[in-house]
Structure 1
């Protein structure tokens, strides 16, 4: 059973991480007015509900995302064909210290950390100042939300994402918080599993292009 409060806390953190309005509660989910050219609005549902179906049937404008904590097969044949299923997402949780030890950075990189409430930011930079990896952390009540963990294509497979995660974890632990949640891509899921994260629920998105 998916806990709606965990989904709401994650979405609040997602919004804070991006400087967006906080989510508004709907009948069975949440709405964020994103306002980006590529994403006008997102609706997020802890489960597949009649409200999700109603929105899918009535919305015809592009770049409005419907997102649900369920696998794609649950919704595939129950919404109009104008909606396109996006690459899979995975909501993951970690309620303990991550399993991988924090190792030293490879030569040629430096770590930069900034705590600017409500967002803590960790970056791995090259000696030229280019961003090789980056990630953000937001506290929402008793949860830690990890967000926008990214490694530049030219700097992958060097342990930089792990360095980012462990650096952010140090910030969380210093605040006495260990309950953590994030949404991962398929590639990111594999990394987080090595760090001790577990799958909480599949996370499926659809949009009208």
Structure 2
């Protein structure tokens, strides 16, 4: 079954994301979670599953070092005026999405199209899928972390030169099938607008907007 409530899905996303990225264990707050990430442009992350103006102003006002991120379940136009000075929106529009596992078409287990090969492996609780061309060049990738009955799909991307060949769908199929085999019954992910369009065709549904902001110079949401 998919997650019944957005807050429940957000909690599962936080715990799966930290496992997927090798980040520190999330610290529970009244408004959500704080995660030590440990990257130069992404030192720490606050995830607000209950965002309002007062909370956002308080959290962003206390964070004055660069490289601190915030994710909130509100649209960009709502979050931006709430941010303290020195903060700005980052990462573009996003969406929190969920689906029951396994999704129906994963049972067919499609193979890689001609000219590509797919490899998967699991290490430390994270299953990765990698698609390469016949000569070994990168084509697409993604990973999934299973925590109990929940699974978080993460870092799905397709090289622009190989888009519109079904590689993103192939990666999603393999990752969600692998998660279901490990006992997960519900999936959750953070999607871009392009990703959302693909995932909706695969049975995923949007639960809430998911907007990012960062303190200091802009950086990618790695």
Same fold (TM over 0.5): yes
Q: Does the alignment pair 1:72 with 2:79?
A: no
In the alignment, is the contact (CA less than 8 A) between 2:101 and 2:176 conserved in 1?
no
Q: Does the alignment pair 1:105 with 2:105?
A: no
| Structure 1 portions without partners, runs of 5+ | none
Distance 1:90 1:44, change over 3 A: same
Q: Bigger CA drift: 56-65 or 154-163?
A: 56-65
Cα distance in 1 between the residues matched to 2:114 and 2:127: 24
Q: Does the alignment pair 1:94 with 2:82?
A: no
In the alignment, is the contact (CA less than 8 A) between 1:47 and 1:70 conserved in 2?
no
Using the TM superposition, give the Cα deviation of residue 165 of structure 1 relative to its aligned residue in structure 2, in angstroms: 0.7
Using the TM superposition, give the Cα deviation of residue 194 of structure 1 relative to its aligned residue in structure 2, in angstroms: 1.0
Pairwise mapping of residues 39-188 of structure 1 onto structure 2 (< 5 A)?
Answer: 39-49=42-52, 50-86=54-90, 87-98=92-103, 100=105, 102-188=109-195
TM-score, length-normalised on structure 2?
A: 0.86
| Structure 2 portions without partners, runs of 5+ | 218-222
1:20-49 alpha-carbon deviations (Å, 9 max, x no partner): 112111221101111111111110010214
Number of residue-to-residue matches in the alignment = 209
Using the TM superposition, give the Cα deviation of residue 81 of structure 1 relative to its aligned residue in structure 2, in angstroms: 4.3
Cα distance in 1 between the residues matched to 2:32 and 2:127: 27
Cα distance in 2 between the residues matched to 1:170 and 1:207: 34
Distance 1:149 1:174, change over 3 A: same
Distance 1:118 1:96, change over 3 A: closer
